[in-house]
Amino acid sequence: MKRTYLSIFCIAFMGISFLSAQEKIPQVEKLLAKMTLEEKIGQLNLLTPGGGIATGSVVSEDVETKIKAGNVGGVFGVSSPDKVRQAQDIAVKSSRLGIPLLIGSDIIHGYKTTYPIPLGLSSSWDMELIKNGAQIAAKEATADGINWNFSPMVDIARDPRWGRIAEGAGEDPYLGSQVAIAMVQGYQGEDLTQPNTMMATVKHMALYGAAEAGRDYNSVDMSRLKMFNEYFPPYKAAVDAGVGSVMTSFNDIDGIPASGNKWLLTDLLRERWGFDGFVVSDYTSVNEMIAHGLGDLQAVSALAINAGLDMDMVGEGFLTTLKKSVDEGKVSEEQITIAARRILEAKHKLGLLDDPYRYSDESRPEKDILTEENRSFARKAATRSFVLLKKHENTLPLAKNSNIALIGPLADNKNNMLGTWAPTGDPSLSIPVLEGLKNVAPNATINYAKGANISDDSTFAKKVNVFGPRIQISEESPETLLKEALDLAKKSEMIVAVVGEATEMSGEAASRTDITIPDSQKKLIRELANTGKPVVLVLMSGRPLDISEEMDLPVSILQIWHPGVEAGNAVGDVLFGNYNPSGKLTNSWPRSVGQVPIHYRMKTTGRPEPESGEFQKFKTNYLDSPNSPLLAFGYGLSYTNFEYSDVKASSNELGANATVSLSATVTNTGDFDGEETVQLYIHDKVRSITPPGKELKGFKKIMLKKGESKTVTFEISAEDLKFYNSDLKYVSEPGEFDFFIAGSSDADFKGSFTLKK
């Protein structure tokens, strides 16, 4: 089994500089030879003219004048073939050297055709689906003139208080690496000069998902052992997949902010990993090193360029201070030339130096953006992302002639379907749940009542509504809303309640200390459960929530994340049985916020919790809660049932240059055809450093008709058992290994084998 992200970093070990060995591009070198120092610095400047959705608090000024002066290497926040052509015209026709611009954008989960949030997409465990989604996003975005994408975000995140957990692939380095590879390949294709491909940016380098207290932009402090074994693999996987650019993170690493961290950006990223693209800062993160306490703008800009940062996003510290730093001997002109070369090489890879208007075909938007085909894919992607968290009795799937009370503040709400970080999407084009259910089941009787506000707290709502009305507090009293819902429920056969988080309750700068469903909706859910009618909770969120109370109620629960532009149709497909849900969680869901951070790879410690889970004094447990999560990584139910049996290894011993086959038989024992994601976990029983309890090493998604059985086999080699030891050497060690093949990380269908010396 190939492990791209776990390859040995032989470049560093051999003492060879990847950069010095890289062939120079004649077209780029001719340009560099003509450029003044000021023009080289200009290539390192990334600006946004504003006018679109804000992705930061600063908007660049006098952009056109700066482009004409050769002081801009790229812009973002500009789209449409016409506007991009205008921008390129200024650069090509009005600047001295006529160097075209990079045109960037945040295309996080689809462009105009918006898919589920990335955390939702990762729950599909379907890499081909994720790759195809990136391909369609690239096709749409390039049709609108954009050639550079600030995606994928691959930060490992284990703290659901952190709002940006919504943008990643969850808690696991192996799964996160596979998603990173799929997205880079989807965006970039095999040839970046093709007009339907775009340069990807892996972010945020590095460790951003481990921000202390789950508070956005906060400090990060962890051992290098944990970095290499648990947090770095997805970034490395993207680099190995050929990603064109890397974006730095806001946090510090070993006390030095990422945008000025030479060990991170040069020693690790370039010399050890062999990255040959360019590095861009996150939004004003160079300037923000002043607040970190590392000096004034000139000092932090010099620190960043010397560390290996190539492009300054929006802050203009490079533009305004680097020449002075060269004059004072604080930065060498050669360092600036290297950075400018990397930006120009990116433009060469995209074909912009040959044709600046490659992405300005005005015929493309109509035929490539928001097509029926693209929307059909978005609908499919959404259905595959949903996770069935609880089945109560035989409520699901619903009959298509049901009499349904559709209740909840998110049931008929276009503004909250797209999810966080969808700046290129249009909420008005989304399909709300009410409309979708009627589309899928026209013979059903579906009546709607709001039932509750998303939140009754107007102060909280104001914080959430920065980008528009996500939480709208009704003029009717909460008591009146509840009564309307209960009256409707009494007249109906069953209840579907669409509840959870508004779009901007998660995402950037949306950290929460309370990760339960808001109290206004909790009260509604309790009252609906008390009616005695069958209840399905359709749960919408951008993060794992604490739903301990709801799991104890007599309800079924379908987690739908924020599903995208085809939200309602996808929900209808799943609720009415057109598609049997197959999603699996990519983060552990806590029993309470007090368990956070929690993940399946936690170590057993020297005083492990008893296997029974019962409390014992002087063991690593809580007085008031089990150690285990409410819902485990990899968990997800189906309308049918799957049983695992005959877990075995083809051999009890694994040689250094051999493989062992690990297999299990999976049987569909229920009444519906369905898909199951079969997961392989390994436990190293004796290791030179303390091992995690389990490590995901493979997964396969299979389709089983009811009554059908299949044997699923994984091939494991010594390479797959490697890890970074205390010397940060990448090794495998002989010894005994347990393996687990199951439908989630907490199941215990296991065997064992021994890796020989």
Please provide the size of the chain in residues.
757
**pLDDT at residue 18 greater than cutoff 80:** no
**pLDDT at residue 695 greater than cutoff 90:** yes
* pLDDT attached to residue 478: 97
* pLDDT attached to residue 54: 45
Nearest to 204 by CA among 140, 153, 144, 150: 153
Domains and CATH numbers, the chain: 29-103+285-349 (3.20.20.300), 377-594 (3.40.50.1700), 640-755 (2.60.40.10)
**pLDDT at residue 3 greater than cutoff 50:** no
* Cα–Cα dist 344/55, whole Å: 25
Q: Which of 69-78, 382-391, 450-459, 602-611 comes out lowest in average pLDDT?
A: 602-611
Contact indicator for 683, 695 with CB cutoff of 8 Å: yes
| Residue 698 binned pLDDT confidence (cut-offs 50, 70, 90) | very high
**pLDDT at residue 270 greater than cutoff 50:** yes
CA distances from residue 332 to 41, 101, 324, 339, 350 in whole angstroms, order as listed: 12, 25, 11, 11, 28
**pLDDT at residue 513 greater than cutoff 80:** yes
* Cα–Cα dist 349/357, whole Å: 14
CA–centroid distance for 377 within its chain: 19
**pLDDT at residue 126 greater than cutoff 50:** yes
CB atoms within 10 A of CB 179: 28
* pLDDT attached to residue 61: 81
**pLDDT at residue 65 greater than cutoff 60:** yes
| Residue 6 binned pLDDT confidence (cut-offs 50, 70, 90) | very low
* pLDDT attached to residue 17: 34
Pairing type for strands 74-76 and 674-684 reads: unpaired
What digits encode the pLDDT tens for the residues 547-580? 999 999 999 999 999 999 999 999 999 999 999 9
* pLDDT attached to residue 56: 52
What digits encode the pLDDT tens for the residues 166-180? 999 999 999 999 999
What digits encode the pLDDT tens for the residues 221-233? 999 999 999 999 9
| Residue 752 binned pLDDT confidence (cut-offs 50, 70, 90) | confident
Instruction: Calculate mean pLDDT across residues 678-704.
Output: 96
**pLDDT at residue 155 greater than cutoff 90:** yes
Contact indicator for 419, 566 with CB cutoff of 8 Å: no
* pLDDT attached to residue 753: 86
* pLDDT attached to residue 657: 85
**pLDDT at residue 707 greater than cutoff 80:** yes
Instruction: Calculate mean pLDDT across residues 653-667.
Output: 93
The residue whose two tokens read 């609720």 is 575
DSSP-based three-state secondary structure for 33: helix
Helix extents (H) in 359-476: 364-368, 372-385, 433-440, 458-464
pTM higher than 0.85 for the full model? yes
Nearest to 32 by CA among 91, 94, 99, 89: 99
β-sheet bridge partners, residue 692: 603
Q: Which of 137-151, 249-263, 575-589, 649-663 comes out lowest in average pLDDT?
A: 649-663
| Residue 1 binned pLDDT confidence (cut-offs 50, 70, 90) | very low
Percent of the residues in the chain that have a pLDDT greater than 90, as a whole number: 92
CA end-to-end span of the chain: 20
**pLDDT at residue 376 greater than cutoff 70:** yes
* pLDDT attached to residue 324: 98
Instruction: Calculate mean pLDDT across residues 192-199.
Output: 96
CA distances from residue 53 to 424, 469, 580, 716 in whole angstroms, order as listed: 8, 14, 36, 47
Instruction: Calculate mean pLDDT across residues 594-602.
Output: 96
| Residue 659 binned pLDDT confidence (cut-offs 50, 70, 90) | very high
* pLDDT attached to residue 656: 80
Instruction: Find the radius of gyration of the CA atoms of the chain.
Output: 26
* pLDDT attached to residue 16: 31
Pick left, alpha or beta for residue 647 (phi over 0 → left; psi -120 to 50 → alpha; otherwise beta).
beta
Instruction: Calculate mean pLDDT across residues 506-533.
Output: 98
| Residue 8 binned pLDDT confidence (cut-offs 50, 70, 90) | very low
Mean residue pLDDT of the chain comes to 94
Pairing type for strands 695-704 and 674-684 reads: antiparallel
Instruction: Calculate mean pLDDT across residues 670-681.
Output: 98
Contact indicator for 461, 473 with CB cutoff of 8 Å: yes
Report the 3 state secondary structure along 195-234: CCCCECEEEEECCHHHCHHHCCCCCCCCCHHHHHHHHCHH
What digits encode the pLDDT tens for the residues 278-305? 999 999 999 999 999 999 999 999 999 9
**pLDDT at residue 749 greater than cutoff 90:** no
Contact indicator for 597, 231 with CB cutoff of 8 Å: no
94: Cα within 13 Å, side-chain hemisphere: 15
| Residue 22 binned pLDDT confidence (cut-offs 50, 70, 90) | low
* pLDDT attached to residue 612: 84
Q: Which of 76-80, 185-189, 438-442, 751-755 comes out lowest in average pLDDT?
A: 751-755
| Residue 75 binned pLDDT confidence (cut-offs 50, 70, 90) | very high
CA distances from residue 489 to 443, 522, 523 in whole angstroms, order as listed: 19, 17, 15
* pLDDT attached to residue 55: 52
| Residue 748 binned pLDDT confidence (cut-offs 50, 70, 90) | confident
**Residues with active-site annotation:** 282
